[in-house]
């Protein structure tokens, strides 16, 4: 299998770095057993950045390695140590690269050396418990998780930034022409479709230096995919002018320069977007006797159409000076009218789920679905194995007004509440009327509002309460054994801490 040397379109899978998790830590020092929370924040993940580099002319690197990932952020640590920032991943692309989604939505048109685009933002780092401490929650027993970085699939499409584009039938002499007026050395042979990839050449005419692009030959039906030209027509979209290179010495029967010009113009018109470009016509191969005769026969007819026509020979260089200076004149005029392109930094900010900074609630068949930038971000930051973290999430949602809005819409206790997109959501049972519990005292990592689902926590608290009424000879183990009797826990009959308690077996992951 041949290895391509020129690639002008690739599909790239990119992933930004994940933010590091915050840490829940308590400062420990001799004679200071509870020195306060000192957990550091997680570092943000690295972003994926596209940058225009004039030295890059092809997308072949991404053809061989289509999956790219930025560095993750570092985890936080105790003693107020924050995690390291993940390094950004910079992907260099050629000037003139168009970035779009697989569905064809254009995200950016990258032109101008140094232009940058943050195509995938790194995830935020999670806050440590030191940053979460407040006057009511003085020693949080939890920290926030780092957010995942953005992941997406993009299409990079290269549209060569050239001043002049050479178009024409195969074997019309485009490669020979670009080799004669510049130092480009494209492949030249006596058979059609010799040019398989666009060639660029730098031409100097007087004080003007410009680039000329030679694209693979066009044939009738190229706009519909026939031949090779359809895949490379994009490379002449940015050209200031087009030069029709017409073979006046073709050996194919039934062809003449005027019809060749009409066929190519028809294909350019059907491709679209090139109607406003100035045209020059180069009648090539006048060094051949028949070629000169045919050229003399059609030159007046073409000029009557208002076209500037040049009789040239890429082999003997006849007429090339006049042609190159005509190209330079058009390029100078186009550059004078064009605004100066400055390097810019483009940052994509995806729209929130509901189009604003609040939230929306929709009654669906599966339950009440909550969408919004803040609720969905808070869900990603929550460690659901920690009851105190879940309580903190409940407090945040209540302050945002989610519970109030659910009640206004008619939600009942026990209804299913889903937060997030269908592909990545979290399901809750609605239980209204739970007040914020930041000021409640309890063990680190626990929230008393969720005691009904933590038999182990109920058992520990029952033992703590019974310790005040124990006899002098009773130890904590004696109190625990006494409380393990079924009648000690009221009407519900089960034995705490054994397999006979279904809630214990299901709710305690350590069992």
Residue 193, marked binder: yes
| pLDDT for the residue 45 | 95
Phi-psi region of 298 (alpha: psi -120 to 50; beta: other; left: phi over 0): alpha
Query: Has 286 been labeled as part of a binding site?
Result: yes
**Residue ranges matching CATH 2.70.210.12 in the chain:** 1-158
pLDDT of residue 153: 94
> Is the pLDDT at 147 greater than 70, yes or no?
yes
Position with higher pLDDT, 186 vs 68: 68
Q: pLDDT tens for residues 234-293?
A: 777 778 888 888 888 877 777 788 888 888 888 888 877 778 888 899 998 888 888 888
pLDDT tens string 413-440: 888 889 887 777 888 888 876 544 444 4
pLDDT interval class at 495 (50, 70, 90) = very low
Q: Which of 232, 230, 169, 223 is nearest to 199 (CA)?
A: 232
Average the pLDDT over each of 57-66, 104-113, 453-462 and give the range with the smallest value: 453-462
Question: What DSSP designation does 469 have?
Answer: G
Q: Is 315 annotated as a binding residue?
A: yes
CA angle 269–271–272, rounded 5-degree value: 65
**Cα torsion through 117, 122, 128, 130, rounded to 10:** 0
Q: Is 169 within any annotated ligand binding site?
A: yes
| In the chain, % of residues over pLDDT 90 | 18
Is residue 60's pLDDT more than 60?
yes
Whole-number Cα distances in Å, 193 to 198, 231, 489: 12, 13, 88
Determine the average pLDDT of the residues in 289-301. 86
Buried b (16+ CB within 10 A) or exposed e, 345-369: ebeeeeebbbeeeebebeeeeebbb
**Annotated binding residue 217:** yes
Tokens 């029967």 identify what position?
A: 253
What does the angle CA 356 – CA 19 – CA 67 come to, to the nearest 5 degrees?
95
210 is in an annotated binding site: no
- 171 annotated binding-site participant: yes
Q: Are 173 and 314 in contact (CB under 8 A)?
A: yes
For the ranges 22-26, 252-256, 291-295, 464-468, the lowest mean pLDDT is seen at 252-256
314 marked as part of a ligand binding site: yes
Annotated binding-site residue? 313: yes
Task: Confirm whether residue 261 is marked as ligand binding.
Answer: no
410 is in an annotated binding site: no
CATH class of 1-158: mainly beta
- Helix (H) / strand (E) containing 267: helix 257-271
Is 196 assigned a ligand-binding role in the annotation?
Answer: yes
Tell whether residue 57 is among the known ligand binding residues.
no
Task: Tell me: pLDDT of 70 over 60.
Answer: yes
Q: Is 214 annotated as a binding residue?
A: yes
Contacting residues for 310 by C-beta, under 8 A, at least 6 apart: 280, 281, 282, 283, 319, 322, 323, 326
Instruction: List, by residue range, all CATH 3.40.50.300 domains of the chain.
Output: 164-337
CATH 3.30.70.80 fits 164-337, yes or no: no
Q: For residue 170, say whether it is annotated as part of any ligand binding site.
A: yes
289 annotated binding-site participant: no
């Amino acid at each position: 299998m041949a290895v391509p040397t020129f690639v002008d379109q690739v599909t790239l899978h990119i992933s930004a770095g994940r933010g590091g998790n915050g840490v829940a830590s308590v400062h420990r020092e001799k004679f200071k057993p509870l020195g306060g929370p000192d957990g550091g924040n997680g570092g943000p993940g690295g972003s994926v950045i596209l940058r225009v580099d004039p030295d890059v002319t092809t997308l072949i690197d991404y053809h061989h390695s289509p999956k790219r990932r930025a560095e993750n952020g570092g985890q936080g640590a105790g003693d107020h140590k924050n995690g390291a920032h993940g390094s950004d991943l910079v992907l260099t692309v050629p000037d003139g690269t168009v970035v779009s989604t697989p569905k064809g939505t254009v995200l950016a048109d990258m032109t101008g050396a140094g232009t940058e685009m943050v195509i995938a933002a790194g995830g935020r780092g999670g806050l440590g418990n030191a940053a979460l401490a407040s006057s009511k929650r003085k020693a949080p027993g939890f920290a926030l998780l780092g957010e995942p970085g953005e992941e997406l699939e993009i299409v990079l499409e290269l549209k060569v930034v050239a001043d002049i584009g050479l178009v024409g039938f195969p074997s019309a002499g485009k490669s020979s022409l670009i080799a004669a007026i510049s130092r480009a050395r494209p492949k030249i042979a006596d058979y059609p479709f010799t040019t398989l990839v666009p060639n660029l050449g730098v031409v100097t005419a007087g004080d003007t230096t410009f680039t000329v692009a030679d694209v693979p030959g066009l044939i009738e039906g190229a706009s519909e995919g026939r031949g090779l030209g359809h895949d490379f027509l994009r490379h002449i979209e940015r050209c200031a002018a087009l030069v029709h290179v017409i073979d006046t010495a073709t050996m194919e029967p039934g062809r003449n320069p005027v019809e060749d010009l009409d066929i190519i113009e028809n294909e350019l018109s059907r491709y679209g977007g090139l109607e406003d470009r100035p045209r020059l016509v180069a009648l090539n191969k006048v060094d051949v006797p028949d070629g000169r005769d045919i050229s003399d026969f059609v030159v007046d007819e073409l000029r009557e159409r208002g076209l500037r026509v040049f009789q040239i020979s890429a082999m003997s260089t006849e007429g090339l000076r006049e042609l190159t200076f005509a190209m330079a004149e058009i390029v100078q005029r186009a550059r004078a009218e064009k605004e100066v392109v400055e390097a810019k930094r483009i940052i994509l900010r995806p729209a929130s789920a509901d189009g604003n900074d609040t939230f929306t609630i929709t009654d669906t068949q599966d339950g009440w679905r909550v969408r919004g930038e803040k609720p969905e971000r808070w869900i990603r930051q929550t460690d659901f194995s920690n009851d105190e973290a879940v309580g903190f999430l409940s407090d945040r949602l209540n302050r945002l007004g989610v519970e109030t809005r659910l009640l206004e819409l008619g939600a009942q206790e026990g209804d299913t509440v889903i937060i997030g997109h269908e592909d990545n959501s979290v399901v809750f049972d609605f239980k209204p009327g739970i007040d914020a519990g930041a000021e409640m005292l309890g063990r680190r990592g626990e929230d008393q509002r969720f005691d009904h689902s933590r038999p182990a926590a109920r058992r520990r608290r029952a033992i703590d309460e019974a310790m005040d009424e124990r006899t002098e000879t009773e130890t904590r183990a004696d109190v625990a054994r006494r409380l393990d009797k079924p009648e000690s826990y009221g009407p519900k009959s089960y034995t705490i801490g054994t397999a006979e308690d279904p809630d214990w077996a299901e709710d305690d992951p350590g069992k």
